[in-house]
Amino acid sequence: MANNYYDPADLRKFGNITQWSEELGNKFFDYYGKVFEEGALTAREKSLIALAVSHTEQCPYCIDAYTKDSLERGVTKEQMMEAIHVGAAIKSGATLVHGTMMMNKVNKLEM
Amino acid sequence: MSKLKQQSLHKRENQLANPNRQLEILNGGIFENGELPTFAKKITQTNQFPLRPKKLEILQINLGYMCNQVCEHCHVDAGPDRKEIMTWETMQKCLEIIKNTGAHTLDLTGGAPEMNPNFIRFVERASQAGIKDFIVRSNLTIIRANKKYHDLPQFFKKYNVHVVSSMPHWTKGKTDKQRGEGVFDKSITALKQLNAVGYGMPGSSLKLDLVYNPNGAYLPGNQASMEKEFKSAMLADFNIQFHNLFAITNLPISRFLDYLIASENYEDYMYQLVEAYNPKAVKSVMCNNTISISWDGYLYDCDFNQMLGLKVASKVTHINQYNESILNNRDIVISQHCYGCTAGAGSSCQGVVTT
């Protein structure tokens, strides 16, 4: 094993996950491929969603793959950064909205 | 763009100005050590070796490597400092070929083909030969580069020339980064001029197509989706119309190869090309139906082979000996750059090659 947990070259090996569980691996890749086809959303819109989620999931492989995928689909830098802000806003909003739980609890416990 | 980048690799005496050095790189490294299969090996696996031409349909003539632009990705290494220009004598020999060819399309390219001093005379004579589709690959900015080129849209219209123009993106930033400062604004003005005389308008027989190629080390996206995006942005932002968008893959040769190596993207890019190999695209690559003629009259399987100095593998290698039936009985010369034409939906001067 390499001296670091993440190696960019491992992204190319993603398909190898089918080797140790062929049926499940193939089902996953069939599903994955289908999800990103043009549908009610364009492949370009899906790529931008994937880019934002890649950041909220903080997955280096996904960021690598969907930055390139977005470029291939003609997405501009500004659009990519706005998409990431959407992810960041949901992440921070999701943290902050839990503040209401804290407030409920404080209100219940305090006299 | 730095001053250095405004000069061709030739002018800079860059090692990649030498086609043999480019071929060394393409044949060496990850292809030599077996990490990736050579193109010959790959097409052998899909029973497509050797590549053989089908019926000749397109004569592509390169009128010279001189250009008013120095685009970062240019596979011709064209620029203002390139002096290789087709002479009138060679053009006359080409006209003889055009009169007798079985090809239905004449495709003039460069550099900027319009910068050849005999361009106008050549187009006039060639159009008399009654070729069905007469293409000029125009970089657009040439129309605005000098007063003598301002009337090109009317000239193209007069001879019903099919104009194919490069336009890497609908935004100024991306376009200027690839093609040089100010290119986007001049291209927009030129496209408006072409629209004004009827080019690119819905239902118009004056064909105006745009060529998109990626702005870096990645492959082009789906051509139909890109065309939709381009059309809507060009219409909304500039009131410009065009017919088709051709999505072309950058081939790893010349200035694009230089960029790939300098930016340490070469190996990843070759991996992308090999992984995206599509055997269906091999059946329709442009060398199937095209002959490329260089400024000095030599014959090649495609414009890319021309730039790599890979002449056709035939007894006939020059227009002086031109013979279509002998020429058509040849194997197509290949190297690892050919992966650029077979990646994904495939790539040619006419965009994707599969549907």
Is B348 contained in some domain? Answer: no
The pair of structure tokens assigned to B235 is 């219409």
Lowest-pLDDT range of A97-106, B123-132, B175-184:
B175-184
Is B350 contained in some domain? Answer: no
> Considering CB atoms only, which of B173, B216, B229 is closest to A74?
B229
pTM for the model stands at 0.89
Q: What is the dihedral of CA B165, B171, B230, B271, to 10 degrees?
A: 80
- Among B277, B253, B259, smallest CA distance to B341 is for B277
Q: How confident is the model at residue A1 (pLDDT cuts 50, 70, 90)?
A: low
Return d(Cα B340, Cα B355) in angstroms, integer. Answer: 17
Task: Enumerate the residues of chain B whose CB falls inside 8 A of the CB of residue A12.
Answer: 271, 275
Most confident of A3-12, B12-21, B127-136, B223-232: B12-21
CA distance B286 to chain A (A): 22
pLDDT at residue number B139: 93
Contacts (Cβ under 8 Å, ≥6 apart) of B273: B219, B249, B252, B339, B340, B343
Task: Enumerate the residues of chain B whose CB falls inside 8 A of the CB of residue A45.
Answer: none
pLDDT at residue number B355: 64
Sheet of B162-166, strand order: B245-247, B208-212, B162-166, B133-138, B105-109, B58-62, B290-293, B299-300
Question: Could you report the per-residue pLDDT of A46-99, keeping only the tens digit for each?
Answer: 999 999 999 999 999 999 999 999 999 989 999 999 999 999 999 999 999 999
**């790599």: which residue's tokens?**
B308
Average pLDDT over residues B149-162: 96
Q: How confident is the model at residue B5 (pLDDT cuts 50, 70, 90)?
A: low
The pair of structure tokens assigned to B18 is 């030498």
Is B355 contained in some domain? Answer: no
ipTM score here? 0.76
Average pLDDT over residues B94-118: 95
- Among B292, B304, B314, B289, smallest CA distance to B335 is for B304
Is B161 contained in some domain? Answer: yes
Give the other-Cβ count within 10 Å of A45's Cβ.
15
Q: How confident is the model at residue B353 (pLDDT cuts 50, 70, 90)?
A: confident
Return d(Cα B57, Cα B106) in angstroms, integer. Answer: 9
HEC letters along B271-298:
HHHHHCECHHHHCCCHHHCEEEECCCCE
Sequence letter at residue A91? K
Task: Enumerate the residues of chain A whose CB falls inside 8 A of the CB of residue B275.
Answer: 12
Q: How confident is the model at residue B1 (pLDDT cuts 50, 70, 90)?
A: very low
Sequence letter at residue B311? K
Total tally of structural domains belonging to chain B: 1
Domains and CATH numbers, chain A: 37-109 (1.20.1290.10)
Which chain B residues in 8-47 lie under 8 Å from chain A, judged by CB atoms? none
Question: Could you report the per-residue pLDDT of B306-342, keeping only the tens digit for each?
Answer: 999 999 999 999 999 999 999 999 999 999 999 999 9
Which structural domain range is residue B209 located in? 4-342
Outline where B180-222 has alpha helix (H).
Answer: 183-196
> Considering CB atoms only, which of A12, A71, A76 is closest to B171?
A76
Question: Could you report the per-residue pLDDT of B175-225, keeping only the tens digit for each?
Answer: 888 788 888 999 999 999 999 999 999 999 999 999 999 989 999 988 998
CA distance A12 to chain B (A): 9
Say which CATH number the domain at B34 has.
3.20.20
Q: How confident is the model at residue B130 (pLDDT cuts 50, 70, 90)?
A: confident
Return d(Cα B184, Cα A34) in angstroms, integer. Answer: 37
Is B127 contained in some domain? Answer: yes
Phi, psi of A39 (to 5 degrees): -150, -135
Whether A72 sits inside 8 A of B219 (CB atoms) is yes
pLDDT at residue number A81: 98
Q: At residue B352, does pLDDT exceed 70?
A: yes
